[in-house]
Amino acid sequence: MTGTGAVIDTRALEAVLFVSDEPLTPAVLSQALEVDRRTVDDLCAQLGAELEQRGSGLVLRNVAGGWRLFTDPETQPVVERFVLSSRQARMTKAALETLAIVAYKQPVTRHQVSAIRGVNADGVLRALVDRGLIEEAGRDEGPGRPLLYATTPMFLERLGLASLAALPSLAPLLDASAERADAADRAADPDDEPGDEVPAGADETGPDAPEA
């Protein structure tokens, strides 16, 4: 019973658990439902039994010191296929490129992102904001005071990073890119051998050297 006399059943418990993204301790549930700890335990046991009885796609588990709803293990193949085909497929190459620019250059303006990518980034930035991966982070002090964008805590959570300092260094990637570019240049101009050029400052001696 609550302080207002209203009967608390498993529907309220299920609703609270549904909107939570982490396990809820008995103390938190007790406060949210305005019931005592024993009632919380009874409600959780009842809800778990109801879910199983009706063949629900959800199960209630006590993990990490709290209660949380999970998808039933038997639904794993379907859930996994859905997640991989929908959520990941919508993360396009353009979105990944834009997200990487924001992550490494933040805070960054829309114009700066567009300049780096070479195309207008308005739509992609809006999509990333809608997904909760980036957010507005104030305004730049330059002309027009454009909006600045930065990554969100959800970005770190999705990538499994403790902080932005844990982002991989770009130096090895840039070095590898430079090496590939040099190799491509050499392949495009095979006649340009390293030994054909006279180093700057070297003496030009030999039969073809100009007379003093």
Output the pLDDT for position 84: 66
**74, 105, 122: which is the final residue of a domain?**
74
Return the DSSP state at 169.
Answer: P
pLDDT of 204 strictly over 50: no
The answer to whether 125 and 109 are in contact (CB under 8 A) is no
pLDDT band at 191, cuts 50/70/90?
low
Say how many domains are in the chain: 2
Output the pLDDT for position 181: 58
**74, 103, 126: which is the final residue of a domain?**
74
Which structural domain range is residue 131 located in?
Answer: 93-166
CA pair distance 78, 84, nearest whole angstrom: 10
pLDDT tens figures, 21-60: 778 889 999 998 888 899 999 999 999 999 999 888 988 8
Q: State whether 62 and 110 are in the same domain.
A: no
pLDDT of 212 strictly over 50: no
Mean pLDDT of 174-184: 59
Burial of 124 (0-12, 13-18, 19+ CB in 10 A): buried
Asked if the structure places residue 50 within a domain, the reply is yes
Asked if the structure places residue 205 within a domain, the reply is no
CATH number, domain with residue 116: 1.10.10.10
Asked if the structure places residue 109 within a domain, the reply is yes
Q: State whether 108 and 63 are in the same domain.
A: no
Q: State whether 44 and 101 are in the same domain.
A: no
Q: State whether 98 and 159 are in the same domain.
A: yes
| Of 91, 95, 130, residue with least CA distance to 113 | 95
Mean pLDDT of the chain, nearest integer: 79
The single-letter code of the amino acid at 105 is K
Asked if the structure places residue 190 within a domain, the reply is no
pLDDT tens figures, 80-103: 777 666 555 567 888 999 999 999
Output the pLDDT for position 6: 39
Output the pLDDT for position 185: 61
Q: Which residue has the higher pLDDT, 198 or 14?
A: 14
Asked if the structure places residue 98 within a domain, the reply is yes
Cα angle for residues 160, 162, 163 (degrees, 5° grid)? 115
Tokens of 8: 């608390």
Asked if the structure places residue 139 within a domain, the reply is yes
Asked if the structure places residue 193 within a domain, the reply is no
pLDDT band at 10, cuts 50/70/90?
confident
Segments in the chain forming alpha helices (H) = 10-19, 26-33, 37-53, 76-82, 93-105, 110-117, 122-130, 153-159, 171-188
pLDDT of 192 strictly over 80: no
Asked if the structure places residue 178 within a domain, the reply is no
